[in-house]
Amino acid sequence: MNWDDARVFLALCREQTLRGAARVLAVDQATVGRRLASLEQSLDATLFLRTSAGYSLTSAGEQAMRAAQDMEAAAADLQRRILGMDERMSGEVRITTTDSFAVDFIMPAIAALRLEHPGIEVKLHASTQLLNLNKREADIAVRNLKPDNPELIVRRLARWSSAAFASKDYVTVRGIPEPGAAFAGHDLVLYQPYLDSGREVTLGTEPITHGRIAMTCTSGLMVRRALAAGIGIGEVPLPLGLRDGLVRLWADREHAPYDIWLVTHRDVRHTARVRAVIDAIVAVFAGL
């Protein structure tokens, strides 16, 4: 099995359809089908069962998948090591972060960076999905979760608490909720993953028991935009709520602080262009 065949094989393992694998690999379905047929012929083994639900691995396919994953890990390791020796101030740097961090911090950092290093091309992946830095899915991650992988280099960018906020227009019309009333008579904007977590939901440590849910959002940035539009009351990081011009409801109530982390793999942290992007991001966070 060569590496090109292994890439096609792993894509089909993960996507379970020719169409899905073709989309991931940016090729057509016929190419995936031909490569799979060629691989099965060269190994003299059936690697997948074709079912109405998609492609399922056979026992031989499971063995082949383990070998292909080893090849993938070795290829990623080689790529990281070579990248770590690159002193050029040009080329691609991939960043993964949330949409909120992307808008408020990463984009200003890249704008400043390009004034000095226009040859650096940034590929920005803004999502709550955590990409794998070991597999070179990204070079830099900005997250509020600290990884425990010893191969990753972690730097704290900020420590924030969060609080309940609303727009000035909302407060003018509806007033500030009475502490202890659990938002009775008020509309709320909630972060959907928090609502789905199974934990008791509070805003600024106040239970939401008597409030009305006006909107839920799967994005922190959308929560902030909903609050700015006057849709209701929500909880956002303290510095971002103040930056957005929102009204903090209770000055003496905030959630325990959480940290914002910049993460990169140890093999690429000294790459010149990656180092330049890291420095630019650190500078923007430091200026908050």
Residue 245: pLDDT band (50, 70, 90) is very high
Which secondary-structure segment (H or E) carries 156? strand 152-160
Indicate the fold that domain 3-83 takes in CATH.
Arc Repressor Mutant, subunit A (1.10.10)
Helix (H, G, I), strand (E, B) or coil at 171: helix
For the ranges 23-32, 92-101, 222-231, the one whose mean pLDDT is highest: 222-231
Per residue in 45-73, pLDDT (tens digit) is: 898 888 877 888 888 888 888 888 888 87
Contacts of 257 (CB under 8 A, 6+ apart): 159, 160, 161
Could you please report the per-residue DSSP string of 44-62?
A: TS--EEEETTEEEE-HHHH
Q: What is the pLDDT, as a whole number, of residue 185?
A: 95
For the purposes of burial, counting CB atoms within 10 Å of the CB of 30, is it exposed (0-12), middle (13-18) or buried (19 or more)?
exposed
Percent of the chain with pLDDT over 70: 94
Q: So what's the pLDDT on residue 85?
A: 54
Lowest pLDDT segment from 134-138, 161-165, 280-284 = 134-138
Q: Which helix (H) or strand (E) holds 42?
A: helix 29-43
pTM of the predicted protein model: 0.66
Backbone angles phi, psi at 17, to 5 degrees: -140, 155
Question: What's the CATH number of domain 91-160+259-286, 3.40.190.10, 3.30.70.1350, 3.40.50.1240, 3.40.50.1260?
Answer: 3.40.190.10
